[in-house]
Amino acid sequence: MHVDFHARPGETVPSVYDPGSYIEALDAVKPDYIQCDTKGHPGLSSYPTKVGNRANLAPGIDLLRMLREATAERGIALYAHYSGVYDMKAAEIHPDWAIVDAEGNPSKAYMSVFGPYLEELLIPQILEIAGDYGLNGIWVDGDNWAHCVDYSHWAVDAYRKATGQEPAKPGEQGYIAYRDFCREGFKQYVRRYISAVHEKYPDFQVTSNWIFSSKMSEKADVPVEFLSGDTAPMNAVNDASFQGHFFEARNMPWDLMMWGFQNVGTDWNLLDKQTKSLVQHCQEAAMIISMGGGFEFYNIQYGHGGVIQRWMIPTWKELAKFAREREICHKGKIRREVGVLIPFERNEEVKTVFTPSDATRAAIQWIFALQEMQYSTKVVFEYQLEEKELADYQLIVVPASAHLAPASVKRLGDFVANGGRLLVDGPCAGFFQDIAGFKCSISADPKLFFVEANGKLAQGESRKVSFEAPSDNLEKTVYRANYCDGQPEPSYFHSALGKGELAVLAFDLAATYKNCKTETMRAFLRGIIEKRLGFTPAIRVTGTPFVQDIVLEKDGKLLVNLINMAGDHAVKEIRQFEEIPPIGPITVTLSPEIRFNKAHLVPEGKTLQAKELANGSHQLVIDRLDIHTVIVLE
C-alpha cells in the first residue's frame, strides 16, 4: 500500500486524525509493506522533523510514529515516501541551492544535485527517518524526472574542476558532454545518499523512483536495492505493460505502483479524483504480476493529509486476495524468445535530463504491437548485446533510433548469421546497409501510405525508406491511396544472411502504430515475422485478440500468463467501470520443444488435459478468462 499526500502550505497534518482507519486497512489488506508520506514535492515534512521543514502539524499527533508502531506490531515493513530533487520549500528558503537553467533562471522547485541540499537537508532527513523512526526503507520521489541540465554555480564549478572547460549551452559544441556530466551528477547524488544511510543502517532499503526505467536505458550502475515507479493514472494497463517490460529486463527486484484513481480535471491540487473499481485495480495488477513484479496500489490522500478512504478497505482486501493468489509469478523472468532492442539514446530536445528518448518511445509501440500480436516479448537493452544473451532469442526487433553503435550493429549481424531473425524498423535501415547489401535513403517528411495484408489495407503516415536493391529482395505491398490500384511500392526489404533472415521495413512502424492501431497492420507484421522470417512462437495463443500472453520462467516451471485486455481501460473519458467482458474459449498450443508433465491453472487449481497433435505439439483449452490466469507447466 502507498499512502502519500504531499503536505501543502496552510494544510494541517493530519487534517482528520483517524488511526482506526489505518489499523482497519492494515488488518484487512495485510500488506507486505506500506509506503507512507514523510515529505512531498512542496517540501513540507508531515512528521515532527528536527532537521527539515515542518508542515503545519496538529498538536500532539505524529502520524509517522503511529504508523511505525502499528506496522511493527504486525510484522509489516514501513517505507518512506520522500521527495528528493523536487523540494519547493527548500527552493524558497535557499534559492541558491536550486537548479539554474541555461538562461540563468533559478528553479522554484528543483534542487541542484551539486549543491548543499544533499548534505544539509536530504541526507540528515533520511538518517532521521531510518534512525529515529526505525523505518525499513525509502522510496525517493521527484528525483530523476525532476533533474534538469544545471547551470547553477555549483554545477558549473564542478564541471570546471573536473574538465577545465566551460559548460556548453543547447546548440553549442560540447552540450552533450555537459548533459552527460549532469546525468552522472545525478547518479553520484543517489550513490551518496545510499552510502550515507548504509554506513549507519546497512539494512535500510533505498530506491529512487524511476531510476533505470524507460527514462534511463543505460546499464544500472547505482546500488539501489530495488526498482520502482508509478504508472500513469489513465491507460494504466498499457502503461504498466511497457514500464514493467523495462524493469523486468534489469534482473533486479522491482515493483510498480498503480494509481487507485483517475483525474477528472488537470489540477493535481484539486479533489476531483475518481477512485477506480475492484476490476480496474485487478486488471492493472494482473499486468504487473504477469511480468514477475511486485505490486503496489496508491490511495489518494491529496487535500486531506492522513485520511484513509474507509469505504475502499473491502475493495483493497479483495485486491490483496487477487494478488496473493498469483504470488507464484513473483520474481519470474520473461522467457527469451522475442526481444525488442532498446538503443541507448539521450533525449536531447528537453531540459530535463532523464526522459524517454525517441528510440524508447518507438520501442514502446513495438512492445504494444508484439504483445497485441500475442508474442510474449522481452526487452533487450543495447548494453546487454555485449553479454552474449542473444543466442536464446528467435527474433529481435530493432525500433527506430537515430543512434546505434557500430559494435551493436555487428553483434546483431552475427546474431542473424548464426541463425537469428532480425526485423528492423525503417528509420534504422541505414545502419544495416553494409550487412544486408542494399543502399537506402529516408524521406525528410512523413508521407501517407496504405499497407496491404490479407486483402485489406491499413493506413500509415511516416517517413518512407527508398531502397536500392534487387527486385527479388523487395516485397511490394504499399499503395499510395486507400485502394489497390496502380503499381505497389516496397513495404520491406528481406534477405537471407548466413543461417538467418533479415527484414527491414520501408516505413516507421512505431510512428504509424502510435496513432493508428489496426488488426490489418498486425496481420502485415505477422506475415513478415512468420512467413518471411520463418518464426513460429513456441507457445501460441489463439481464440480472441483480447488476450495477451506473457511467458515466465521460474524454478524450472513455465508460467503462461493470460491477461484479459478487454474493457474500457484505454478510454480516457471512462474513469471508472465495474465489469470486464469475459473472453474465451482460448487455445494454447505448445510446440514439441515445450516439455512438461503436468499443466494446471493458478489460482483456479484446475488440471488441464493436453491434447497431442500429429506434429508432437500439445493443445490446452481455457473455456473462460475473466481477468487473469496462469497456466503452470511443470
**Type of residue numbered 398:** V
**Bond into 592 cis (ω within 30):** no
Q: How many angstroms separate the Cα of 129 from the Cα of each of 135, 240, 274?
A: 6, 30, 32
Residues 8 and 128 grouped into a single domain = yes
Round to whole Å and give the CA distance between 139 and 119: 18
Residues 544 and 528 grouped into a single domain = no
Provide the pLDDT for residue 350: 72
Q: What average pLDDT does this structure show over 218-226? A: 97
pLDDT per position as a tens digit, 126-141 = 999 999 999 999 999 9
Residues 9 and 110 grouped into a single domain = yes
The whole model's pTM is what? 0.96
Q: Which H/E stretch holds residue 259?
A: strand 254-259
Q: What average pLDDT does this structure show over 350-377? A: 94
Q: How many angstroms separate the Cα of 511 from the Cα of each of 356, 437, 451?
A: 15, 26, 14
pLDDT category at 387 given cuts 50, 70, 90 is low
Say whether 98 sits in a helix, a strand or coil. strand
pLDDT category at 348 given cuts 50, 70, 90 is confident
Residue 248 lies in a domain: no
Residues 525 and 557 grouped into a single domain = no
Q: Which residue has the higher pLDDT, 387 or 352?
A: 352
pLDDT category at 304 given cuts 50, 70, 90 is low
Return the C-alpha cell found at 13. Answer: 497534518
Q: Which residues contact 578 (CB under 8 A, 6 or more apart)?
A: 277, 278, 279
Task: Please check whether residue 316 is in contact with residue 297, taking contact to mean a CB–CB distance below 8 angstroms.
Answer: yes
Residue 260 lies in a domain: no
pLDDT per position as a tens digit, 456-514 = 999 999 999 999 999 999 999 999 999 988 899 999 999 999 999 999 999 999 999 99
% of the chain beyond a pLDDT of 90: 89
Domain end: 202, 225, 248, which one?
Answer: 225
Residues 388 and 511 grouped into a single domain = yes
Residue 557 lies in a domain: yes
Say whether 592 sits in a helix, a strand or coil. coil
Q: Which residues contact 364 (CB under 8 A, 6 or more apart)?
A: 214, 242, 356, 510
Q: What average pLDDT does this structure show over 581-599? A: 97
Round to whole Å and give the CA distance between 397 and 219: 20
Residues 107 and 207 grouped into a single domain = yes
Task: Please check whether residue 479 is in contact with residue 488, taking contact to mean a CB–CB distance below 8 angstroms.
Answer: yes
Domain end: 532, 566, 583, which one?
Answer: 532
Residue 255 lies in a domain: no
Question: CATH number for the domain including 177?
Answer: 3.20.20.80
pLDDT category at 269 given cuts 50, 70, 90 is low
Provide the pLDDT for residue 346: 80
Cβ atoms within 10 Å of 75's Cβ, excluding its own: 8
Residue 33 lies in a domain: yes
Say whether 66 sits in a helix, a strand or coil. helix
Q: What is the DSSP letter of 45?
A: B
- 65-74, 76-85, 352-361, 522-531: least confidently modelled range: 352-361
Round to whole Å and give the CA distance between 558 and 551: 7
pLDDT per position as a tens digit, 143-174 = 999 999 999 999 999 999 999 999 999 999 99
Chain mean pLDDT for the chain: 95
Residues composing the chain? 634
- 26-35, 266-275, 384-393: least confidently modelled range: 266-275
* DSSP calls for 29-96: H--SEEEEEEE-TT--BSS--SSS-B-EEPTT--HHHHHHHHHHHTT-EEEEEEE-SB-HHHHHH-GG
Quickly tell me which residue has 526498482 as its cell: 227
Q: How many domains does the chain have?
A: 3
Q: What average pLDDT does this structure show over 519-527? A: 98
Provide the pLDDT for residue 619: 98
Backbone phi, psi, residue 137, to 5°: 180, -175
Residue 247 lies in a domain: no
Residues 589 and 465 grouped into a single domain = no
Residue 306 lies in a domain: no
Name the residue among 202, 37, 191 with its Cα closest to residue 118. 191
Question: CATH number for the domain including 444?
Answer: 3.40.50.880
Residue 87 lies in a domain: yes
Domain of residue 64: give its range: 2-225
Provide the pLDDT for residue 326: 98
Residues 68 and 104 grouped into a single domain = yes
Q: Any bridge partners for residue 338, and if so which?
A: 377, 395
Provide the pLDDT for residue 573: 87
Round to whole Å and give the CA distance between 13 and 364: 40
Residues 189 and 170 grouped into a single domain = yes
The stretches of 201-328 forming alpha helices (DSSP H) are: 236-248, 278-290, 313-324
Domain end: 175, 207, 225, which one?
Answer: 225
pLDDT category at 268 given cuts 50, 70, 90 is low
Residues 387 and 407 grouped into a single domain = yes
Round to whole Å and give the CA distance between 55 and 63: 12
Round to whole Å and give the CA distance between 24 and 20: 6
Provide the pLDDT for residue 292: 98
Q: Which H/E stretch holds residue 629?
A: strand 628-633
Residues 569 and 425 grouped into a single domain = no
Question: CATH number for the domain including 573?
Answer: 2.60.40.1180
pLDDT per position as a tens digit, 536-565 = 999 999 999 999 999 999 999 999 999 999
* Largest distance between two CA atoms of the chain: 81
Task: Please check whether residue 150 is in contact with residue 113, taking contact to mean a CB–CB distance below 8 angstroms.
Answer: yes
Residues 25 and 166 grouped into a single domain = yes
Provide the pLDDT for residue 302: 64
Round to whole Å and give the CA distance between 583 and 621: 12
